[in-house]
Amino acid sequence: MSVITLENVHKSFGALKVLDGVSFSVNKGEVFAIIGRSGSGKSTALRCIDRLERIDQGRIRVCGHEVSDPGLDLRQLRLDVGIVFQSYNLFPHLTAAENIALAPRHSKGKTRAEAKELTERVLAQVGLSDKAGSYPEQLSGGQQQRVAIARSLAMEPQVMLFDEVTSALDPQLTGEVLKVMADLAAGGMTMVLVTHEMSFARNVATTTLFMHKGRVWEQGGPGMFDRPETAELQQFLGSGL
């Protein structure tokens, strides 16, 4: 069952064509990785899924929502889709637990007790049960990113989008964040992630899509990494990125 579908999506910023007829489909429970050079349109594709960007042409459906429809219920879409970025954007004056409980309390009307239970559950999920009372500045970058993931999980989304969530982290901290994501994947979460972590894409992703010049250049399972069909993907994989 497809939970995300893009059909012939076009998007330009002024004269710059960023998405040039992008189509792909993500099934429930899939871990869908998007790779490609900087500027190839990966983040824009992800942002269009959550309607952080509007598309010029084409169609996007996410969890039954017609994202490109003017009558879209944006609030409901955002409840179904969690998104995590490279920058964690935690509130510095709130503890980890308070950061996490905020949206469920205010956007989902959870009671204090429900929010507390949720917070405990998602903190355990990202391996930070002992950091509930810590402020962001008392946490490492990797821990802050795990809190940001927990904050998204606390909204109980149907799908999670990740945009280069480990790019700002050193290798050791990257590993702990990738482990949390691999656990989520193993738990059946539907995930779309833009990543430079080729080994994660190869080992965890069910499908990997290579974007080039705003197009879906190549798409496949883990075997794609051993047998790239296009010269562009061959070159990309060989460049050590």
Given 43, 68, 119, 145, the residue binding Mg ion (CB under 5 A): 43
Instruction: Please tell me whether residue 145 binds ligand ADP under the rule CB under 6 A.
Output: no
Q: Which of 99, 105, 47, 55 is closest to 77 using CA atoms?
A: 47
Give the span between the Cα atoms of 75 and 94, in whole angstroms: 24
Pick the stretch among 38-46, 68-76, 123-131, 224-232 that binds Mg ion (CB under 5 A): 38-46
Q: How far is the CB of 10 from ligand ADP (least distance, A)?
A: 13
Amino acid at 76: Q
155: Cβ contacts below 8 Å, ≥ 6 apart: 79, 82, 103, 104, 107, 108
Total binding residues for ligand ADP by CB under 6 A?
11
Draw the binding track, 6-45, toward ligand ADP (x: CB under 6 A; -: no contact).
-------x--x-x-----------------x-xxxxxxx-
The residues in 42-81 that bind ligand ADP, with binding defined as CB under 6 A, are 42-44
Residue 157: which of 102, 95, 103 has the closest Cα? 103
Helix (H) or strand (E) holding 41, with range, is: none
Which residues contact ligand ADP by CB under 6 A? 13, 16, 18, 36, 38-44
Which residues contact Mg ion by CB under 5 A? 43
